[in-house]
């Protein structure tokens, strides 16, 4: 997958997750994939890398990680790839909600 495509996906995922943050909602991997046109094998094999890139961008910008809003549809828990840097997941979600206020 070309890096430009992944960069575009990161931008799309960022926009979708900022909207979710402002609505104070969590998003499943499938919902997020559908929002940006990623399904099937691409979703299962590439979304983790897109979310990692997004987290890196958020951290570099001094923002809480938007990736914290993405959960497993069956369990409601964050994905196994979620790295909280020592901050509990639910605390990070609350930080995301505070950082992007409701309109």
pLDDT by 10s per residue, the chain, length 103:
455 688 999 999 999 999 999 999 999 999 999 999 888 887 888 898 999 999 999 999 999 999 999 998 888 888 765 655 667 888 889 999 999 998 7
CA 92 to chain CA centroid, nearest Å: 12
- Tokens of residue 74, six digits: 């069956």
Among 95, 89, 7, which Cα is nearest to 49's? 7
Do 23 and 93 meet the contact criterion of CB atoms below 8 Å apart? no
HEC profile of the chain: CCHHHHHHHHHHHHHHHHHHHHHCCCEEHHHHHHHHCCCHHHHHHHHHHHHHHHHHHHHHCCCCCHHHHEECCCCCCECCCCCCCCCCHHHHHHHHHHHCCCC
pLDDT of residue 1: 44
């Amino acid at each position: 997958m070309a890096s430009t495509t992944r960069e575009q996906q990161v931008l799309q995922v960022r926009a979708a997750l900022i909207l979710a943050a402002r609505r104070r909602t969590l998003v499943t991997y499938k919902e997020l994939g559908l929002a940006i046109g990623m399904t099937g094998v691409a979703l299962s094999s590439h979304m983790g890398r897109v979310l990692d890139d997004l987290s890196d961008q958020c951290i570099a910008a001094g923002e809480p990680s938007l990736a914290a809003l993405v959960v497993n549809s069956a369990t409601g828990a964050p994905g196994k790839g979620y790295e909280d840097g020592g901050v509990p997941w639910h605390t990070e979600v609350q930080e995301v909600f505070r950082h992007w206020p409701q309109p």
